Structure 1
Amino acid sequence: MVDDRRRQSHRGDTVSYEDWHDDRSTGSSEDEAIGRIESAGVRDVLDQLPADQRDVLLMRVVADLGVEETATALGKSPGAVKQLQRRALLTLRARVQDGLPLAPAPVTP
């Protein structure tokens, strides 16, 4: 009991957390990702990938699904999903490091 009193005298008053008052909160990551896809042309970049790699990236990154959920949705094993995601990210990274444009240049008539 004496120790509790001593601890309280050193800590000060506590304030309960109210999330509605916290200005650090943001929208959902899915909404943010979709906004980025629309505004930055990421969709064009993803279209350069093979369909299975693109599907995995969309489900894992944009839809924020886990490996197991993605594997079930695509009818693949969890190991295959991890490998497809790895290959897709390596392909995109290589294009950026080589200085290649991520999206094809627009065709002018």
Structure 2
Amino acid sequence: MQPRFVRLCEEERKAVSMTIDGACVEVLEGDTVLTALMMHRGFAGHSPFGDGRRAGFCMMGACQDCWVWTGEGDRLRACSSPIQDGMDIRTEAPKGLWPIPG
């Protein structure tokens, strides 16, 4: 899938590495997880209702459209979560870790 975001400026920030669905990508310090996903994957995740890929909608954490998981199984909103060097992001729930047994 083609990237949805293309960086036009602010290229002076420090480059950091992260993993998205097992692929190592380079992003810039200060980017959000959603920015990284849109630049490298073109989507944030898959709809839980089976109607396709999701890309985030509100960009402020209200619409629930950009939930992703860390490799450890934690959920986070991609639009409001800053990148951390070495971050491991999954666009699908890690098997056996989500949903958390209650």
Aligning the two structures, in what range does the TM-score lie when normalised by the shorter sequence? under 0.3
TM-score w.r.t. length of structure 1: 0.22
TM-score w.r.t. length of structure 2: 0.23
Q: Name the one with the larger helix percent.
A: 1
Q: Name the one with the larger strand percent.
A: 2
Larger Rg: 1
